Amino acid sequence: MSLNKVLIVDDDPESRSLLCEVLAANGYAAEAVGDGLAAREVLSKDDDFRIVIADLQMPNETGLELLRKLREQNSTHAIILMSSFISAKQRKIAKELGACALLDKPFRLTDLLQAVADVAPNKAIGISS
């Protein structure tokens, strides 16, 4: 596959839509779901996803719970977490579990794109926001 496939996991539909549009405009194939449970279902059926961008605070299964469960399954997905509030304890746990980046909302789209580019196996061409 020539495009890097990214799964957006966020309970806010507007955020999901915006992030998918920005990633697509920058050469990534992006899909989105509303929580960690849905993310794990999608990831179990499609092994082309390489990057997961997840909100920390979501109903049903948080981004941190998603990260923990993926690591328990020996997942090699690059995980980027984002949140309006990340406590020091959550930040420490996320790093211990191998989160590639922790973005504080609101973040600049260029910061998100840089975090994705840093972990993308096949670099996207250019950055436009």
Burial class (CB in 10 A: 0-12, 13-18, 19+), 43: buried
Give Cβ neighbours of residue 96 (< 8 Å, ≥ 6 apart): none
Which region, left, alpha or beta, applies to residue 12 given φ > 0 means left and ψ of -120 to 50 means alpha? beta
* Residue 124 included in any domain: no
pLDDT digits (tens, 9 = 90+) for 3-62: 689 999 999 999 999 999 999 999 999 999 999 999 999 999 998 999 999 999 999 899
Residue 118 contacts residue 2 (beta carbons within 8 Å): no
Residue 126 lies in a domain: no
What is the total count of domains within the chain? 1
* CATH code: domain of residue 71: 3.40.50.2300
pLDDT at 127: 37
- Domain housing 70: 4-119
* pTM (two decimals): 0.90
> What digits encode the pLDDT tens for the residues 94-103?
999 999 999 9
Task: Count other Cβ atoms within 10 Å, centred on residue 60.
Answer: 12
